[in-house]
Structure 1
């Protein structure tokens, strides 16, 4: 039986960046490439494959440039790299990256903890980052972390996020291609997510809206669906709900990619594809010593085999 759900959105799987960065363990380059290619081959539209953060501060990201260097041009066209400075963009571009997620925080305290500078300093450097990305024919996103709450300052006003979204250093004809609204701590609720996404869509320059959610308080899928309903074009998730920000006390795993696609039923998803997705996640999580937080992965192992999304009776 086929399903057609509307509105549709694109999944960006962030396992190899946000998913890994809190684990404290670095997967070898070959293993990261195996996971990335497995996801791309299944039809996952976009991936985050790493970060240019300092390897002494975020050790699991230390081999990001090696991963970029091993991927093909076609593969890299579907992959994003986290950056926070023009120099980050320059180094990633030299390795072959063409899609850059330029990130800073809506809250000053978190930006200083995460990036080591003020939000305005990060924003002031963005035009140079955009120029470098454009020089290699690349795309760049404006990613606003702590768009809803900050671990140090509490609630973040929507007007603050809109001011950053509309800042001339990030918008305009030569501005960011996308805007990422990040519920960094997973503390937002669906009505709040829908309201902010709708405001950004109506009150800021037209571009793709990406919602980046976490499942800390159990509302990851609900918030993702609310974002899609309000106009988000892309939604982030990680395999098994892995992830979190090492500089945000209280942050935990991302919304599980498996749960997002089961809820949204993108065209590339079939019962066999879902089983394969779970089978990519399971050994990876075991290697990392991390639990599988995906409810869909758990449900797929049900004994109710009349439900087509349950893995075959002879499955593992």
Structure 2
């Protein structure tokens, strides 16, 4: 596979799904829609806008259908919804969703905790999920949580990831998402696994979903791109974590990924807009902002074009 230049890799912001899963304060549908539009306006190419997880189990996701219904068809073309069953796709598609991230865990123990079934049971349902996606005229991703480590079983065998990626029941997936769910991977592991997925599994766009638990989120994301990933996930201010994965912490910060990777659309003005949106959101939620790039943007170094004016 041809290596993706760092500046050509796309960012998918996952604030509205993975970023909000563990927050104590809930966001209204209107606030979520406004944030999605602000991120699109700033230049962010793709968003994850919510999850079809049960609202009683993951309350911040309870209004996902309302978010889908409020977005335009053009906005929904650039938006992804987390799903775990064909029924999830039916409900989200009826609301207007087009793009679905069908998630299962490489580790059976985590799949049971997160979705309530074995990994094989999730895989067995994927052909129905693919068929429903085609009926909706959309795209579906095969999302593999716990691709590196499991909170219950420890290290995950890379061969198992490759085996699932090659499973014929996953045919029809346009992309594959390789997740460092706990943020415990290091760049060598990420590079090795992404390279294997690129070389040994069906040709699909590779997405890397990283967390910054051990401070390697940006480094791992860059390693993934250099190994063949075309998309990386991030959340504003490093928000996020899995409610069913003890030890998981925030996603890699969107601001940190953008500053490090400098996609072609990013300008200092667009970066400033994203920093301000991040600050406003995390203030609203009462959550700490973990982005190092945001700290830099508020530093006293006005000669550097990426630093925000002190009055703004």
| TM-score normalised per structure 1 | 0.96
Does the 8 A contact of 1:108 with 1:119 survive in 2?
Answer: yes
User: For 1:104-152, what per-residue CA distance to the aligned partner results, in whole angstroms no more than 9, with x for missing partners?
Assistant: 0000000000000000000000000000000111100000000000000
1:263 equivalenced with 2:272 (yes/no)? no
- Aligned 8 A contact 2:7 2:264 in 1: no
In structure 2, distance between residues paired with 1:112 and 1:6: 36
Cα 1:6–1:186 change in 2 (3 A) is closer
Aligned length: 308
What is the CA-CA distance between 1:290 and the residue it aligns to?
Answer: 0.5
Report the Cα distance in structure 1 between the residues aligned to 2:18 and 2:121, rounded to whole angstroms. 23
1:181-260 alignment, distance < 5 Å: 181-260=178-257
Say whether the 8 Å CA contact 2:51–2:81 is kept in structure 1: yes
Q: 2:292 aligns with which of 281, 295, 300?
A: 295
Does the Cα contact within 8 Å between 1:181 and 1:210 map onto a contact in 2?
A: yes
Match of 1:14 in 2: 14
SS in 1 for 2:65: helix
Q: Secondary structure at the match of 2:26?
A: coil
- Among 160, 177, 180, the alignment partner of 1:180 is 177
Paired residues of 1:7 and 1:228 also in contact (CA < 8 A): no
Alignment match, 2:272? 275
State the SS of the aligned residue for 2:41: helix
Distance in 2, matches of 1:252 and 1:154, equals 16
Are the aligned partners of 2:212 and 2:249 in contact in 1 as well (CA < 8 Å)? yes
1:137 and 1:232 map into 2 onto residues whose CA distance is: 25
Deviation for aligned residue 1:199: 0.2
SS in 2 for 1:305: coil
Q: Give the distance between the partners of 1:6 and 1:106, measured in 2 at CA.
A: 28
Q: Tell me, which stretches of 5 or more residues in structure 2 are unaligned?
A: none
Partner Cα separation in structure 1 for residue 308 and residue 88 of structure 2:
42
Q: Secondary structure at the match of 1:147?
A: coil
| CA distance in structure 1 between the aligned counterparts of 2:68 and 2:8, rounded to whole angstroms | 29
Tell me how far 1:25 sits from its aligned partner: 2.6
SS of 1:16's partner is: coil
1:305 maps to which residue?
A: 302
Write the deviation string for residues 218-251 of structure 1: whole angstroms up to 9, x where unpaired.
0000000100110100000000000000000000
Post-superposition CA distance 1:179-233 (Å, at most 9, x none) = 0000000000001000000000000000100000000000000000100110100
- Please state how far the C-alpha of 1:7 moved relative to its aligned partner: 5.7
Which residue does 1:34 correspond to in 2?
34
Q: Distance in 1 between matches of 2:280 and 2:74?
A: 27
Whether the 8 Å contact between 1:8 and 1:228 is mirrored in structure 2 is no
Normalising by structure 2, what TM-score? 0.98
Partner Cα distance (1:169, 1:162) in 2:
14
Per the TM alignment, residue 8 of structure 1 is displaced from its structure 2 partner at its CA by 2.3
Could you tell me how far apart the structure 1 residues matched to 2:281 and 2:7 are? 32
Provide, for residues 52-107 of structure 1, a one-character-per-residue CA deviation record: whole Å limited to 9, x for no partner: 00000000000000000000000000000000000000000000000000000000
Aligned twin of 1:88: 88
| Structure 1: 5+ residue stretches without partners | none
